């Protein structure tokens, strides 16, 4: 492989920054362009330390800004597109989500065609596959099962359309006469230190005397560690550069999971945090079917009030289905085509995530001390 350069969108995000850290280790990388709307000062500092190993350019701007995206793609060999808005609560206006997740992806694909960027890797999600109902059980699903979400909720819908656009762009003619090759990775629920979802969840639990909310006890999921998802992106990049491997991968999508034990989200959160004194709520929870229909009623109320007031329900049917489904995936195809093996064992992933949760507990205690003095 000759020297190459890579643009990573969403580079300041939970997954994006992990991809950057692994890309820096790739011998053939000449330049990494890290694109995001804004970079936090501590991340700027961390990225500046990586400059000694490789040219790392930070690009701050909007993915919907056509000229900015064109300039970002100019002269790069590959794009890893992780930037998106994740929203399972319907807290963000649907048009904002559709714009960033779908239109932003289409703009980026067009910019690649114009700038003759031959490789495009898209970070998709298992939510493009479902779950469509909390009553249906999907175990160790594979790519050939052709699962597809039927939800019209903005997040899964926008990601489904964006993934279709990426895979349909495989084989596009580039301006310089070359060809665009694409693939998509569908990680399961991503966890690890710095996870915004885990941060919110444990922050809430700390405010509730360490009691973990238990609204997902009927689920069976196989979460995936963030470091392993980042590693899968590096392997996809290497594989699309490899003339022998590439033909099998072009235009394909892959489920990315690891060896994290299959368990309910409730049990998973408890396993990560029990050593810090967190415990599951022992109170009775509502039956799932009742929670589902309450979600539906709240959606109706939200819709009826929408002309005069933006009512944000605490949950909705999509979230209830997502949190209470048996929905697990096999990474065999990624293993076969990309040579994917998890870089981090469950023990290592658990240890690092648990230590990070411990740091949140410590900060919380310090904040309480400061308040009382």
Catalytically annotated residues: 155
Distance (Å, whole) CA 261 – CA 223:
8
Cα 366 from Cα 363, distance rounded (Å): 5
From CA 261, how far away is CA 143, in angstroms rounded? 21
Contact by Cβ (8 Å): 95, 103: no
Q: Assess contact for 94 and 135: CB atoms under 8 A.
A: no
The CA distance from 69 to 182, in Å, is 18
Q: Helix 154-168 vs helix 104-115: angle between axes, to the nearest 10 degrees?
A: 20
- Sign of the alpha-carbon torsion through 197, 199, 205, 208: negative
């Amino acid at each position: 492989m000759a020297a190459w350069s890579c643009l990573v969108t969403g580079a300041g995000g939970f997954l994006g920054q992990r991809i950057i850290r692994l890309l820096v280790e790739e011998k053939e990388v000449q330049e990494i362009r890290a694109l995001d709307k804004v970079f936090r000062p501590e991340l700027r500092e961390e990225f500046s330390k990586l400059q000694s190993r490789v040219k790392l350019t930070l690009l701050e701007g909007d993915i919907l800004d056509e000229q900015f995206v064109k300039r970002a793609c100019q002269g790069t060999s590959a794009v890893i597109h992780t930037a998106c808005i994740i929203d399972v609560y319907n807290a963000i206006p649907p048009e904002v989500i559709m714009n960033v997740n779908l239109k932003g992806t289409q703009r980026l694909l067009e910019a690649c065609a114009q700038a003759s960027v031959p490789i495009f890797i898209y970070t998709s999600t298992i939510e493009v596959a479902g779950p469509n109902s909390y009553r249906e059980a999907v175990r160790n699903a594979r790519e050939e099962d052709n699962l597809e979400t039927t939800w019209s909720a903005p997040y899964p819908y926008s990601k489904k359309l964006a993934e279709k656009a990426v895979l349909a762009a495989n084989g596009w003619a580039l301006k310089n006469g070359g060809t665009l090759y694409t693939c998509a990775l569908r990680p399961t629920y991503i966890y690890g230190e710095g996870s915004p979802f885990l941060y919110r969840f444990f922050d809430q639990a700390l405010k509730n005397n360490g009691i973990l909310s238990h609204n997902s006890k009927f689920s069976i999921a196989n979460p995936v560690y963030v470091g392993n998802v980042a590693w899968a992106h590096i392997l996809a990049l290497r594989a699309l550069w490899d003339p022998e491997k590439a033909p099998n991968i072009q235009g394909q999508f892959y489920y990315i999971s690891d060896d994290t034990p299959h368990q309910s989200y409730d049990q998973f959160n408890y396993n990560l945090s029990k050593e810090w004194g967190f415990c599951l709520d022992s109170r009775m929870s509502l039956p799932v079917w009742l929670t589902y229909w309450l979600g539906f009623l709240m959606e109706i109320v939200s819709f009826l009030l929408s002309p005069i007031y933006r009512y944000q329900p605490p949950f909705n049917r999509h979230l209830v289905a997502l949190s209470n489904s048996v929905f697990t995936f096999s990474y065999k195809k990624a293993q076969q085509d990309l040579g994917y093996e998890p870089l981090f064992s469950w023990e290592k992933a658990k240890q690092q995530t648990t230590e990070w949760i411990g740091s949140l507990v410590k900060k919380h205690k310090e904040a309480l001390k400061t308040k009382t003095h």
